[in-house]
Amino acid sequence: MADMKENNMNDGVPSLDEAAAEAVRLSVGPRPGAGPEKPRKDRRRIIIGAAAVAVAVLVAGGVCAHRAYESHQASVARQACQSAVADQAKAVKAYKTLLGSDATVAVLKTDAKSVKDAKTVDTLKRAAAVRLPAMVKCDASKAADLDAAAAKANKAARTVKSDTKALETAAKAVESSKLDKTVADADALYKATDGKVQDDKTRDALKQAIAKRDAAAIAKAVKSVNDSKTAKEKADAEAKAKAEQEAAAARPPGRPPPPAPAIPNPTNKSRR
């Protein structure tokens, strides 16, 4: 300690003990009978000036540190905001890609009469007509404002992702409802053509396609059944015409054809 005091004295800078003693002397005032106060006043001015400089340095350092901290916080917030905006842009792109796909464009042309549940078509149209939120910008300078922009972008991204899922679900619902109607119509045809086709194997193929809910197979089987039904109707008509011609040829000349058999009316009941 003695060495330290000696070094301080040699450097011309008062030690901590000297500064404390000087502060006490300044607070108490000059001793009775003491000499001139000029050296003490000079030292006091030096100490006060040094203290003022030290305080100014501390204040300036604190301001710089605070500004550096704010700049760092804003930089971190800006990165988070830009990441959220990128996620929003990705979600918007996914929605637009789905909306413009060939499958979606085709299903949007589905007529309400070609599905079993017409409400699915209305739901799809609403899902395809949503208004996408505006893109968020990270142009603020303060961290709090950038954090608010990031929150807004995250919310927008969630909304668009939900809209994309709704569009996908609505498109599948229309396709399913369309298949439901196809199956129902095919089943009605199968039941209505019992005994009315030329080749009953066509109805067997239709039944199998209905069980598998295979739209392409059903369409093919329906055509075969209708063609077979038409063929039988044509064959029946030709057979009837031939029978009538043969019957007419077998009748003696000038003899009228036999009257057509009476068709019984189930509503007429004989009275007792």
Q: Which of 46-60, 96-110, 235-249 has the lowest mean pLDDT?
A: 46-60
Q: Which of 52-66, 170-184, 205-219, 243-257 has the lowest mean pLDDT?
A: 52-66
Contact in structure between 211 and 186 (CB atoms under 8 Å): no
The pLDDT value given to residue 250:
79
Residue 200 lies in a domain: yes
Residue 206 lies in a domain: yes
Contact in structure between 225 and 203 (CB atoms under 8 Å): yes
Q: In whole angstroms, give the CA distance from residue 24 to residue 20.
A: 6
Mean pLDDT value across the chain? 81
More confidently predicted of 184 and 260: 184
| Cα angle 126-132-135, degrees, rounded to a multiple of 5 | 175
Query: Domain range holding 233?
Result: 193-247
Instruction: Give 248's pLDDT tier (boundaries 50, 70, 90).
Output: confident
Q: What is the pLDDT of residues 123-137, one digit of tens each?
A: 999 999 999 999 999
Nearest to 94, CA basis, from 153, 164, 157, 141 = 164
* pLDDT over 90, % of the chain: 58
The pLDDT value given to residue 272:
40
Q: Which of 2-6, 141-145, 200-204 has the lowest mean pLDDT?
A: 2-6
Q: In whole angstroms, give the CA distance from residue 194 to residue 176.
A: 28
Residue 8 lies in a domain: no
The total number of structural domains that make up the chain: 1
The phi, psi pair for 36, rounded to 5°, reads -60, 150
Residue 229 lies in a domain: yes
Q: In whole angstroms, give the CA distance from residue 164 to residue 91.
A: 8
